[in-house]
């Protein structure tokens, strides 16, 4: 008769119990791994994908983020591309747009599966992106998102492209989501400067249309005038023009005045004075070397861009350039509230005898301190909004290009403040040329020692320690 082996039975139970524990543990680990994968897949791509491209192709600018964060209406982007033929640069960028706003989403439309879809939208074709917001839509063509550097092609023969998709998409988004048309009239008839393409492109991107207006010939300000621009006039307004403009401002109009302090404009000055702003006598001289370009006169100002809702469209770290400017004095005893847009450093001074001075040396009577170069005035009762930039060169293309478009960004931001809409600006394209990864010689030595000596020694020592511990047990 076979004896009952209690020890063997107990060992079997322990083995079974250990196996059960291992099986349960494996199932728990597997469930956790699956859960983590599901969570990661649900996260926005900006948290799971990192932009390590040389030119940050898929990193949105502050301009685009501001626009997306302020969206109040749903916008759907339709990417027209065959399955398997998608441009990953475009799809990744669309993912980043969707990550920034719950009001933005995108879908792919395969022209093979949806052959009539593109026919609904003028200009839509394979490779296009169509942004739809209610009854409004904008089409961004494939060629709008890629641009070849013509100058490089003709000089070197090589084809270098820039990725312009963010600028094109953000511009289309601003226009498609705008709830109403917006028109800016440029006053003419006084030798005003015409806007360069730098500035008109910025306004177009913001969904703003521009048109010239001569008050003398028109005899009135059109009803669809959302705002007026007076850009560095070389002569004063006539009495009739001043009366029209004064009435417009007093009844809730929006005015951007860019002035030349060397031109005598008493009627225009009177209108600006009615908004609580007057001229600071003299020519602004900057004493802080951080506020004017190296090698340039101290009158070529790089003023501080004040952070507020009016300047929100100016990208972080961008500069604005105001060479040859005059200060603005605000009078806070009236119905207007004021917001400083551009200001000098606290060490600047206003040279009152600039017309006869031979040097930039400060006189004892010259006032000093921080001066406003650009100032905004608002009357909340009437709805009037006025911005005065006391620098005749502010809206010049060459000046704007000297600061990589900072002046144009401020213009777009001001106009959008007038209208209370989202801010946008021209966004620079990003190079598609890959940069070579180079490792400095000193780092080569460090890495060589690390991988050929340090790590092997660490592994050997760790192995010896483990062996000693096991033997002592």
The model's pLDDT over 208-239, given as tens digits with 9 standing for 90+, comes to 889 999 999 999 999 999 999 999 999 999 99
355: left (phi over 0), alpha (psi -120 to 50) or beta: alpha
**How far, in whole angstroms, is CA 233 from its chain's centroid?**
30
CB 325 within 8 A of CB 284: yes
Mean pLDDT of the chain: 85
* pLDDT confidence band for 43 (50 / 70 / 90): low
pTM above 0.85, yes or no: no
Domains of the chain as residue ranges with CATH: 62-167 (3.40.30.10), 181-419 (3.40.50.880)
Distance from C-alpha of 294 to C-alpha of 300, rounded to nearest angstrom: 10
- Coil, strand or helix: which one is 422? coil
Express each pLDDT in 311-324 by its tens digit: 987 877 889 999 99
φ/ψ of 251, rounded to 5, equals: -105, 35
Please check the confidence at residue 291 and state whether its pLDDT lies above 90. Answer: yes
Q: Is the C-alpha dihedral spanning 445, 446, 452, 454 positive or negative? A: positive
The alpha carbon of 471 is separated from its chain's Cα centroid by a whole number of angstroms, namely 65
Band (457; pLDDT cuts 50, 70, 90): confident
151 class by beta-carbon count within 10 Å (0-12 exposed, 13-18 middle, 19+ buried):
exposed
For residue range 252-266, list pLDDT tens digits in order: 999 999 999 899 999
pLDDT reported for residue 28: 80
- Residue 361, sorted as left (phi over 0), alpha (psi -120 to 50) or beta, turns out to be beta
CA dihedral 272, 274, 276, 277 (to 10 degrees): 20
Residues 55, 434: contact at Cβ < 8 Å?
no
> What tens digit of pLDDT does each residue of 363-373 get?
889 999 999 99
Is the model's pLDDT at 19 over the cut of 80? no
Report the alpha-carbon distance of residue 22 to residue 16 in Å, rounded: 10
DSSP for residue 369: S
CB atoms within 10 A of CB 379: 19
The confidence score (pLDDT) of residue 283 equals: 95
Contacts of 223 (CB under 8 A, 6+ apart): none
Mean pLDDT of 425-438: 56
Whether residue 306 is predicted with pLDDT greater than 80 in this model: the reply is: yes
- Portion of the chain with pLDDT greater than 70, in percent: 84
67 contacts: CB under 8 Å, gap ≥ 6:
170, 173, 174, 422, 423, 424
- The answer to whether residue 38 scores a pLDDT higher than 80 is no
Band of the pLDDT at 430, cuts 50, 70, 90? low
Segment 158-185 mean pLDDT: 82
Contact 88, 50 (CB under 8 A): no
DSSP 8-state secondary structure symbol assigned to residue 53: -
């Amino acid at each position: 008769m076979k004896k009952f082996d209690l020890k063997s039975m107990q060992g079997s139970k322990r083995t079974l119990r250990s196996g059960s524990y291992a099986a349960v543990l494996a199932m728990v680990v597997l469930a956790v791994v699956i859960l983590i994968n599901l969570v990661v897949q649900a996260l926005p791509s900006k948290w799971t994908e990192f932009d390590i491209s040389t030119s940050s192709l898929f990193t949105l600018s502050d301009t685009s983020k501001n626009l997306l964060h302020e969206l109040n209406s749903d916008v759907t982007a339709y990417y027209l591309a065959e399955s398997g033929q998608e441009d990953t640069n475009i799809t990744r960028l669309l993912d980043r747009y969707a990550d920034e706003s719950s009001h933005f989403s995108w879908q792919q439309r395969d022209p093979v599966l949806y052959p009539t879809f593109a026919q609904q939208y003028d200009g839509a074709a394979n490779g296009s992106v169509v942004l739809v917001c209610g009854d409004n839509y904008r089409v961004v063509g494939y060629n709008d998102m890629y641009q070849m550097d013509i100058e490089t092609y003709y000089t070197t023969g090589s084809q270098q492209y820039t990725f312009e998709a963010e600028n094109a998409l953000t511009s289309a988004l601003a226009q498609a989501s705008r709830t109403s048309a917006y028109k800016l009239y440029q006053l003419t008839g006084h030798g005003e400067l015409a806007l360069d393409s730098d500035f008109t492109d910025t306004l177009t991107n913001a969904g703003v249309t521009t048109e010239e207006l001569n008050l003398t010939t028109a005899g009135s300000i059109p009803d669809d005038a959302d705002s007026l621009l007076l850009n560095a006039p070389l002569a004063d307004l006539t009495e009739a023009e001043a009366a029209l403009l004064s009435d417009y401002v007093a009844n809730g109009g929006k005015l951007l005045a860019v002035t030349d302090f060397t031109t005598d404009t008493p009627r225009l000055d009177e209108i600006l004075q009615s908004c609580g702003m007057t001229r600071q006598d003299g020519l602004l001289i900057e004493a802080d070397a951080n506020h004017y370009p190296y090698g340039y006169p101290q009158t070529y100002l790089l003023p501080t861009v004040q952070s507020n809702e009016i300047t929100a469209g100016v990208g972080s770290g961008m500069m604005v350039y105001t060479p040859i400017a005059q200060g603005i004095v605000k009078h806070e005893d009236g119905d207007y509230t004021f917001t400083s847009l551009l200001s000098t450093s606290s060490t600047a001074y206003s040279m009152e005898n600039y017309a006869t001075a031979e040097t930039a040396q400060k006189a004892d009577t010259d006032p000093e301190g921080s001066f406003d170069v650009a100032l905004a005035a608002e009357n909340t009762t009437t709805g009037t909004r006025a911005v005065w930039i006391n620098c005749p060169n502010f809206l010049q293309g060459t000046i704007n290009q000297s600061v990589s478009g900072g002046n144009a960004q401020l213009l777009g931001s001001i106009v959008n403040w007038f209208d209370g809409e989202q801010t946008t600006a021209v966004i620079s394209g990003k190079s598609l040329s890959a940069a070579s990864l180079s490792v400095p010689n000193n780092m080569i030595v460090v890495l060589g020692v690390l991988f050929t000596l340090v790590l092997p020694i660490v592994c050997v020592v760790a192995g010896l320690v483990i062996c000693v511990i096991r033997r002592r047990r």
